[in-house]
């Protein structure tokens, strides 16, 4: 099975940049999207053989997640069951016979870390949510986690320390998640890979220079690791400030 995750930075915008062709070329069983930035009824987008499941933010033009899948789920849930966190469309979960698939768009801590306190509350709630799922069956978590985990995961770690996405608090939250029974698929298969990024600023020709961050992930329950066959970052695919990331499971 092939899984793709991509923060498209506006689904309506990327549709005009060849999204349909990219979608078809990647030929995934599950195609997970973050930052759809739309409300129900604002787009008519479907692909033969796929069902789609969207989670919308209350606020127009903001956040949002979606999953296109060839495999009809046993159940669909939106949010994490905590009202204060469930108004931004940040989580879509599909249940299957032998796993849960969680598509997530983690809150950004913003300039001057204005939203870091909220981010920490979110992290606690999200950790509890995936632990509840993992107690029932293995979990696949994918999406824009808005954090570079270690110094190897961004081009300029020293100058970005204490900036949003590379604070000790954010990195520690991801460490807790990984230490609690989840694997960072790309890093497990590529432990020393440098220059492997999934997001680049639009400023300063950052993408051309590959001055980026790896903030888009596939995390899987440790007991799924024997089924992991590959993990890739599609840095050559454009249309967003992020690129798609991929895993294949047996």
193-226 pLDDT per residue, tens: 999 999 999 999 999 999 999 999 999 999 999 9
**What pLDDT, on the 0 to 100 scale, is given for residue 14?**
97
Classified as helix, coil or strand, 73 is coil
Query: Token digits for 117?
Result: 């306190």
The residues annotated as belonging to the active site are: 105, 144
**Parallel, antiparallel, or unpaired for β 51-55 and 216-221?**
unpaired
Query: Token digits for 119?
Result: 């981010």
Mean pLDDT of 133-139: 98
148, 150, 156, 158: CA torsion to nearest 10: 120
- Whole-model pTM: value is 0.98
For residue 247, give the H/E element and its range: strand 245-249
Q: How far apart are CA 141 and CA 139, in angstroms?
A: 6
């Amino acid at each position: 099975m092939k899984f793709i995750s991509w923060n498209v930075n506006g689904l309506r915008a990327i549709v005009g940049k060849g999204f349909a062709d990219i979608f078809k070329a990647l030929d995934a069983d599950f195609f997970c999207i973050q930052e759809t930035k739309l409300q129900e009824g604002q787009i008519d987008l479907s692909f033969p053989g796929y069902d789609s499941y969207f989670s919308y933010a209350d606020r127009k033009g903001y956040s949002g997640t979606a999953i296109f899948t060839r495999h009809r789920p046993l159940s669909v849930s939106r949010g994490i069951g905590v009202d204060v966190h469930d108004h931004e469309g940040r989580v879509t979960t599909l249940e299957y016979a032998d796993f849960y698939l969680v598509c997530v768009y983690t809150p950004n801590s913003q300039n001057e870390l204005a939203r870091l306190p909220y981010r920490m509350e979110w992290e606690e709630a999200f950790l509890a949510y995936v632990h509840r799922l993992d107690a029932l069956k293995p979990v696949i978590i994918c999406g824009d986690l808005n954090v570079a985990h270690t110094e190897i995961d961004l081009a300029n770690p020293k100058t970005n320390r204490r900036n949003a996405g590379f604070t000790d608090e954010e990195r520690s939250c991801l460490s807790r998640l990984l230490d609690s029974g989840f694997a960072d698929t790309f890093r497990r298969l590529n432990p020393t890979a440098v220059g492997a990024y999934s997001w680049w600023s639009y400023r300063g020709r950052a993408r051309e220079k590959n001055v980026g961050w790896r903030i888009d992930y596939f995390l899987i329950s440790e007991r799924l690791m024997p089924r992991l066959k590959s993990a890739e970052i599609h840095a050559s695919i454009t249309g967003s400030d992020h690129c798609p990331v991929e895993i294949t499971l047996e």
